[in-house]
Structure 1
Amino acid sequence: MKYKILRTDKAEEQLRELVFYIADDSGNVDIALGYLDKIETAINRLQEFPESGSIPRYSILKKQGYRVIIVEGPLVFYKINEEAELVIIYAIVDARREYRNLI
């Protein structure tokens, strides 16, 4: 059974910002596109393995039912809707930033 993936506008925007930041920071578009590819692959894997993410360490995020996958630097926060067979991506943030307020 495959889950559907839904991304919030905020997650899409954060992903774009992250890719631009990596391209700018590294001076190399290919590095940024490589990261994008890894993030997309990790997100798509949730269609078949929605439980594969871990429980976040912040208790407030844990209580709200978030799960997180770590893709090298970036963190992808999501929730699973079992009834709708849906994985909702809420945030894609750089692990080096203070991310509690970004979700």
Structure 2
Amino acid sequence: MKYKVSLSPEAVSDLIEIKRYISEELENLASAERTIATIMSRLRQLEEFPYSGASLSSKIAVDTGYRYLVCGKYLAFYIVGKNDVVVDRVLYGARDYLRTLFGELTE
């Protein structure tokens, strides 16, 4: 069974910002295009293997339903539904992605 993979508006915005940052700030359009191609290639794999990414609960003690997929230096955060996969965010791996995803986490 093939899952339908879709991107949230935030994930689309993340991809646009990734490409803009690499091509404009780092002045490397070729690298920006390769990075986006790598991310999109990895996301397409979710059509066949939606559970290939690790559960985010392996990193934090709360079950969020999120899974994450390593896409080079970036992490794609997604949720698997019955017939679909929704990619919620695509964030730089060294970034404080938990704060970006959930805001301030309280103990």
User: TM-score when scaled to structure 2?
Assistant: 0.86
Q: Which of 68, 88, 91 lines up with 1:90 in the alignment?
A: 88
Unaligned stretches of 5+ residues in structure 1? none
Q: Which moved more, 1:47-56 or 1:15-24?
A: 15-24
Alignment of 1:1-103 (within 5 A): 1-56=1-56, 57-60=59-62, 63-82=63-82, 85-103=83-101
Percent of aligned pairs with the same amino acid: 27
Contact kept in structure 1, 2:39 and 2:72, CA below 8 Å: no
If asked which structure has higher relative contact order (CA below 8 Å, sep 6+), I would say 1
Take 1:43 and 1:29, find their aligned partners in 2: how far apart are those partners?
A: 21
1:90 Cα shift?
0.5
Q: Which amino acid aligns with 1:73?
A: K
Aligned residues: 99
Q: Does the residue aligned with 1:69 lie in a helix, a strand or coil?
A: strand
Alpha-carbon RMSD: 1.2
Residue 58 and residue 19 in structure 1: after superposition, are their counterparts in 2 closer, same or farther (change >3 A)? farther
User: TM-score when scaled to structure 1?
Assistant: 0.89
1:72 Cα shift?
1.4
Q: Please say which structure displays the higher CA radius of gyration.
A: 2
1:64 Cα shift?
1.1
Q: Which amino acid aligns with 2:88?
A: Y
Deviation string 1:22-61 (CA, Å, 9 cap, x unpaired) is 223431101000000000000011000001001221233x
Unaligned stretches of 5+ residues in structure 2? 102-107
